[in-house]
A and B are shown apart, each in its own frame.
Chain A
Amino acid sequence: MSTVSTHPSAQSSTARYLVRTRTRLSAVAGGAGLLAVLVLALLPLTASRGLLQDLFYLFTMLALAQCWNLLAGFAGLVSVGQQAYVGLGAYLLFALCLWVGLSPLLAIPLAGLLCAVIAVPSAFIVFRLRGPYFAIGTWVLAEVFRLLLAQLRSLGGGTGMSLPREVTNEAGFVAWTAELLHVRAPVARDIASYWLALGLAVLTILLIYRLLRSRPGLALAAIRDNQGAALSVGVDAFRIKLWVYLAVAFVTGMTGALVYLQKARISPDAAFSVLDWTANVLFIVVIGGIGTIEGPIVGVIIFYLLQSQLAGLGSWYLLLLGLIAIAVMRLFPAGLWGSLAGRFDLHLFPIRRQLVLRVGSLENGPATGPSSHKNPGGNDD
């Protein structure tokens, strides 16, 4: 008898319900997504260097946007200081490659990990602040990091420094790419960076989707909807927000490291730029749709198209970007994807758990039996 292993909830009574999150649309979207990733992975075989460089930028911005969306859209932590971890990740990559002699491929995840470690004392400071003060606190923290790193002479001080060729063009994985595709080292470097960025963006999306579908995701949604009620049913809001903050610092740090490995030149003002690493990311998330995984994907494509079309306009470009952001916020407060999804109930990454009656237990289904006692005496006579 004990040899038969059963589903946990089947022990007391037969499990009558099951939970379903997948929909037909999401299965189709999953297939299309897989195909898209495959095509993008093979793109270096045919695409121009310029396009690969553009897409590299797009993928890194997508990873940053997904992170900020998780932080602000799901955990309610509206940080405007995520450039702190982009800059730290970038500088850590330089330090690990130049001082420790680590391969960039190892230095990137390690830089992310160290960012998460640095995020612990940082969280200790900013988590004491609420709402707008939290936002300001994160920005101040990023400025502190920028000023500190500008003091570090051995990493270029205020003017910055470059990565030597041994780290960039002559790194092992770049040589491997060059051999694989029979291309010159500078081209191989662009292609390798492109693959890394694609991998980072895809992994970030998959990890966030997995997180949102699991128990922590349920807690985050509850906190987003009503923090007081979440606390009253046992959700430790502080702990879960802290974990999100640390996880986001990890991925943001890795993204920063990757971006500056490709740039190969760093300065405090660029690496800790609030405009490049927070304002643009905010724009992407807000026009796409905050609080959805699809939103930042839509947002980053629009952002990329706008940038490539309007880049010639100089500072007018930024003005236009601001105007578009305001217009979208006024007309589609949930973002372009958010409005569309709300209207047609579209969820490419469904999170909602549908309670479904198991087939075969319909004869004692929910409409009759146990719940009938709530009927207010209408047919009692």
Chain B
Amino acid sequence: MANLLEVEELRKSYGSLVVTDSVSLSVGEGEALGVIGPNGAGKTTLFSLITGATRPDAGRVRLDGRDITGVGAAGRCIAGVCRSHQIPQPFEKLTVFENLLVGACFGRAMSEAEATDHCAGVLELTGLIAKANRPGGSLTLLDRKRLELARALATQPRLLLLDEIAGGLTEGECESLIGTIAAIRAGGTTIVWIEHIVHALLAVVGRLVVLNFGRKIAEGNAHAVMDLPEVREIYLGSPV
């Protein structure tokens, strides 16, 4: 399977703090990859480097074989990379529907007429349709997270980056989220998902990458990776 995303020796530091330390990884077309690691491991920074929100000090990012390291954030979205934010960033004064419309009109260059039903469909899929005309800023945290996913989907990404969207959900909500993400993947979208709720992650992804202190410390089949002693040590705090 051809690689959709290739990240090569990415490096980013703030002052003396190295937050991304020569990380390389690749994601196949249509694959779902999970990214785990303790807080401060550099997971969100990795997403920012892939989406172009942050410039790397060194390294390359390739999408479908094309080097996009020099492309800005907006250009990368148009090329097919879109993320949800760990801390939701809604357009607060715009309605939920308009939030999605921005994504569809600019991320996927649709006309407003084309975008209307597309956005309504995404709102139905993500369970936000009843709140379509409410301002983004009036939503609860849970709905803001849904909006993050919905707005990213409105851009019809080839590569969807999900940053901890399952946190704080009830068991039932988590199940339905897993169903939604599995359906998105079944539709052909490639997914990279950062998540602390490991059982949700394992329900969707086949492969895991583990980050710690900005470095990739493990990679491979999801269940095999979870059984590695160094991963268990990170997750359970001390060796057992």
A215 engages B112 (CB within 8 Å): yes
Counting chain A CB atoms within 10 Å of each CB, which of B77, B90, B151 scores highest?
Answer: B77
Which B71-103 residues have a C-beta within 8 angstroms of A? 72-75, 77-78, 82-83, 85, 89-95, 97-98, 101-103
Q: A338-378: which have CB < 8 Å to B?
A: 352-355, 366-367, 369-371, 373-378
The 7 tightest CB contacts between A and B, nearest first, are: A376-B172, A374-B127, A234-B107, A234-B77, A225-B91, A229-B89, A377-B172
Q: Roughly how many angstroms separate A19 CA and B94 CA in the complex, as a whole number?
A: 14
A355-B118 contact given A234-B107, A376-B170, A377-B172, CB 8 Å threshold: no
Instruction: Give min CB distance, A238 to chain B, whole Å.
Output: 8
Measured in the bound complex, the distance between the Cα atoms of B15 and A269 in whole Å is 48
Question: Is B117's CB under 8 angstroms from A225's CB?
Answer: no
Residue of A nearest to B114 (CB): A8
Contact between A17 and B116, CB atoms less than 8 A apart: yes
Apart from A17-B120, A236-B106, A355-B119, list 10 A-B contacts with CB within 8 A: A8-B113, A9-B113, A218-B94, A225-B94, A228-B89, A233-B151, A236-B75, A354-B97, A371-B123, A373-B176
For chain A, the count of residues having a C-beta within 8 Å of the partner chain is 43
* Cβ contacts under 8 Å, B77 to chain A: 231-234
A224 contacts which chain B residues (CB < 8 A)?
93
Which residues of the other chain, B, contact A8 by a CB distance below 8 angstroms? 111, 113-114
Do residues B129 and A233 form an inter-chain contact, with CB atoms below 8 A? no
Contact with A along B132-154 (1 / 0, CB 8 A): 11001000000000000001101
With both chains docked as a complex, state the minimum distance between the C-beta of B174 and any C-beta of chain A, in angstroms: 9
In the complex with contacts A9-B113, A221-B94, A222-B94, A16-B120 CB distance below 8 A? yes
- Greatest chain B CB density within 10 A among A7, A219, A232, A235 is at A232
Write the residues of chain B forming the contact surface with A, with a CB cutoff of 8 angstroms: 51-53, 72-75, 77-78, 82-83, 85, 89-95, 97-98, 101-103, 105-108, 111-114, 116-120, 123-127, 129-130, 132-133, 136, 151-152, 154-155, 170-173, 175-176, 179
A229 adjacent to B90 (CB under 8 Å): yes
Interface hits, A8-36 → B, CB 8 Å? 8-9, 12-13, 15-19
Q: Using an 8 Å CB-CB cutoff, how does the interface string of A216-249 with B read, 1 for contact, 0 for none?
A: 0011011011101111111111000000000000
By a CB distance below 8 angstroms, the chain B residues around A228 are 53, 73, 89
* A218 contact set on B, CB distance < 8 A: 94, 98, 101-102, 105, 112
